[in-house]
């Protein structure tokens, strides 16, 4: 098992001149290409280390062609976003990760960590649809009601008359 890291602060031209990526910027969403970025290994795999010793991922893969990303001893896949390293520069760091794309054998999946609020609930009674209450409810598929009558009809038919809103 090897432990490798692609650290944004090791990606600029100072540490990885062969394929530099943007320097860190405060209060700004940034994108790093980990596949083509600089990596270091806790074990020094392929001579990779932090700072000026970062190497392209291809060098680490060449040194350990059978390496896999695992989460536990079960062998299941894993991925971790971490910050820090226990140094003063990272004290009180606040950051976010979003739209993380992981590719395996030519197939990529992007993980979007945005919170999607659940749709409003279905009406608990036909009376809940009255006096403007219909705007607070949806049908079972999350479709909003176009009017009070549609909401009442939905409830009265046990959901057979769906919202068209």
The closest of 99, 95, 123, 119 to 110, measured between CA atoms, is 99
- As given in the structure block, the two tokens for residue 50 are 């932090």
Length of the chain: 165
Containing H/E element for 162?
A: none
Would you list the domain boundaries of the chain?
Answer: 1-114, 117-165
Could you give the 3-state DSSP secondary structure of residue 105?
Answer: coil
- As given in the structure block, the two tokens for residue 124 are 């608990």
Per-residue pLDDT of the chain (165 residues; tens, 9 = 90+): 455 556 677 788 888 888 888 877 778 888 888 888 888 888 899 999 888 898 988 898 899 998 877 766 776 667 777 776 656 666 777 778 888 888 878 888 888 887 777 778 899 999 999 999 999 999 888 889 999 999 999 988 988 888 875
């Amino acid at each position: 098992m090897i432990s490798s890291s692609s650290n944004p602060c090791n990606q600029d031209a100072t540490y990885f001149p062969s394929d530099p990526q943007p320097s860190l910027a405060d209060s700004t969403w940034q994108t790093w290409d980990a596949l083509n970025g600089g990596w270091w290994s806790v074990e020094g795999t392929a001579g990779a280390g932090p700072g000026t010793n970062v190497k392209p991922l291809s060098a680490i893969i060449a040194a350990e062609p059978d390496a896999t990303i695992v989460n536990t001893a079960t062998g299941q896949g894993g991925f971790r976003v971490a910050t820090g390293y226990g140094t003063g520069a990272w004290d009180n760091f606040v950051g976010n990760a979003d739209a993380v794309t992981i590719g395996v054998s030519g197939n990529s999946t992007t993980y979007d960590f945005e919170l999607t609020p659940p749709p409003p609930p279905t009406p608990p009674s036909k009376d809940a649809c009255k006096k403007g209450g219909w705007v607070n409810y949806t049908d079972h598929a999350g479709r909003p009601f176009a009017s009070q009558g549609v909401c009442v009809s939905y409830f009265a038919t046990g959901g057979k008359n769906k919202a068209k809103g």
